[in-house]
Amino acid sequence: MASGKVKSAQAQKAKINLIKAIVIVVLVLCVGGFFVYISGILPRLLTGVKIVENAADGTQTTIENVSVQELNYHFYEVYSMYSMYGMVSKDTLDDPTDPDTEGSQTYREFMYQTAADEVMNSALVRRSSEQYNYESHSGAARYALLQLEGMKSTAQSYGYNSFNQYLQIMYGTGFNASDYRKFSEREAFTQEFENYMKQFILIPSDEEIQAAYDNDPKAYQRADLNYYLFSAEMDADGNYTNLPATVTQANAVMTKVNGGMSFKDAVKAVLEQDAEANADKLASFEDDSVDPTFVSGYSQATAEYQFKEEVANVLFGDDAEPGKAKVVETESGTYVVCLVELSVDETPTVTYRTLTIANDAKNDAEATEAQIADGLAQARAQADSIVATRMDPLGFADAVKQNSTNANEILSGGYVSGDTAASYVGGTSDDDSETVDEAQAAINAQLGSWLFDEARAQGDTLIINSADSSSVTIYYFDNIKPAWMVTARDKITTALVNGWSQDLKANNPSYIINYSLSQFLQY
């Protein structure tokens, strides 16, 4: 009897111990599961999109497995842009993008595909960078750090308890500063390497630019011209009613111009034949110092866009003849056009780089004037030390990436191009574009005078303190070319970059998105 009681007690104790063990296991699983949930471990470890290449024989090679966390980061970036313009909301993500088309993709699918396009391009660009050993030139890590500090300031200004709390509202539970810095750095690397290719690898020589011009000069020429459009009238049904009359008027102008009358006077004379009906049009002809029929600097593309292809042909066609007026009939009226001159734009156009060093004391609300002055002096001393040794353009671009406190300069290497001397005349205040800022105007004049000095040579530098003592900027001179050469250079570079981008996809890259997993872990 006693033995039975002992066995019963032992069984009861074992049962209790089992229950305790089960409770402990459940608690451990719950705590562990909660930790996994809030830490974002699963989105970091699991693949959201696989980037692959597809060979002609059907074999498939994986380029990169991108985590759910990174894919969702890009998804949220795309979503943020579209939601900002009111095109989509969280409630409409699963609505079709084209409700009238059966089987149309949803906004969510579209945004995941856009995000996947971005990460695929980034993977291809990073792989391409390896053959140029670009890693040593990269400033992406500094860029990401600056962006991170900027985001922290934004979170603080919005009153969030922690930076990670702000990030998780932006990008989902478990997203943290380390994730943001990593993904931002990868984005920056892609952008800065593309800029490197444009500025140092895929840029044509002066000889190549000249050859392109010689092959097709009109692609780089600009037209000065006189023109007038006699517009047809439209009836209530939307039909043009007096097209023949517009042809007659245009031909009358053409005859007068080709007979020796000025274009302005010829148009005015034809309009005066019905002065009462054309009173409003004639008003623009009253000022003898202004010719309302004259425009200048039109490229062939501009002429085609502004007028018609037929008008552009009068200006740039093989039979273009300066000084001879021609008539071009269209469905809505008739143009009379007279080419004055075809020429290339010889305006000196500068290319240079900038490196900006912020004076942190200026942004400190409690800093004294002496502290601000000391901060500016330190920034100036740093600038002096950077330019102590003369550098080539790539060397200075590297210096920008290592020292600039301006995130955009890091991405571009401080590259600035396309400015003429007119860009450095005057100065405006930040709060009123009509108000001249005398201090800024003086800085602009100093910079413009230095940039366009005939003695300037590649590698020359100029250091200028900002008017408000908030920063010091180093200006690095690269070159000056006529505007037409800059246009030709940019056109050739664009074509080369497009070709390079296509070459990156030579092996038919594609991606496989894990939609369900990525959405499930998008909490």
Distance CA 35, CA 31 (A): 6
Q: Say if residue 330 is in the same domain as residue 464.
A: no
**Amino acid sitting at position 273:** Q
404 found inside a domain: yes
Cα angle, residue 114 at apex, residues 52 and 66 outer, rounded to 5°: 40
Q: Say if residue 79 is in the same domain as residue 57.
A: yes
Distance CA 84, CA 76 (A): 12
Q: Can you give the pTM of this predicted structure?
A: 0.83
Residue 41 neighbours by CB under 8 Å, 6+ apart? 174
Distance CA 371, CA 362 (A): 8
Q: Say if residue 149 is in the same domain as residue 281.
A: no
Q: Say if residue 455 is in the same domain as residue 508.
A: no
pLDDT of residue 164: 87
Instruction: Kindly state the average pLDDT of the residues 163-172.
Output: 88
Q: Per-residue pLDDT for 91 more than 70?
A: yes
26 found inside a domain: no
CATH number for the domain including 434? 3.10.50.40
Range of the domain at 72: 44-202+501-520
Distance CA 523, CA 501 (A): 35
Phi first, then psi, for residue 307 (nearest 5°) are: -115, -115
- Decide: helix, strand or coil at residue 140: helix
492 found inside a domain: no
Q: Say if residue 188 is in the same domain as residue 66.
A: yes
Q: Per-residue pLDDT for 21 more than 70?
A: no
99 found inside a domain: yes
Q: Say if residue 251 is in the same domain as residue 154.
A: no
Q: Say if residue 326 is in the same domain as residue 354.
A: no
Q: Say if residue 198 is in the same domain as residue 291.
A: no
143 found inside a domain: yes
Last residue of a domain, one of 343, 376, 401: 343
Last residue of a domain, one of 313, 343, 373: 343
Q: Say if residue 358 is in the same domain as residue 468.
A: yes
105 found inside a domain: yes
Q: What is the pLDDT of residues 242-251, one digit of tens each?
A: 899 999 999 9
pLDDT of residue 402: 97
Distance CA 499, CA 505 (A): 10
Q: What's the number of domains the chain is made of?
A: 3
Residue 336 neighbours by CB under 8 Å, 6+ apart? 227, 228, 230, 250, 251, 253, 254, 257, 267, 325, 326, 327, 328
Q: Say if residue 473 is in the same domain as residue 363.
A: yes
Kindly state the percentage of the chain with pLDDT values over 90: 72
Distance CA 4, CA 91 (A): 66
Q: Are strands 471-482 and 348-358 parallel, antiparallel or unpaired?
A: antiparallel
**What letter would DSSP give residue 342?**
E
Distance CA 478, CA 475 (A): 10
Last residue of a domain, one of 296, 322, 343: 343
Q: Say if residue 193 is in the same domain as residue 246.
A: no
Instruction: Kindly state the average pLDDT of the residues 350-358.
Output: 98
CATH number for the domain including 317? 3.10.50
Residue 493 neighbours by CB under 8 Å, 6+ apart? 198, 202, 203, 204
Distance CA 71, CA 66 (A): 7
28 found inside a domain: no
Alpha helices (H) in 345-461, listed in sequence order: 369-386, 393-403, 407-412, 438-451
Q: Say if residue 466 is in the same domain as residue 436.
A: yes
Q: What is the pLDDT of residues 461-503, one digit of tens each?
A: 999 999 999 999 999 999 999 999 999 999 999 999 999 999 9
Q: How confident is the model at residue 427 (pLDDT cuts 50, 70, 90)?
A: low
209 found inside a domain: no
Q: Are strands 471-482 and 47-54 parallel, antiparallel or unpaired?
A: unpaired
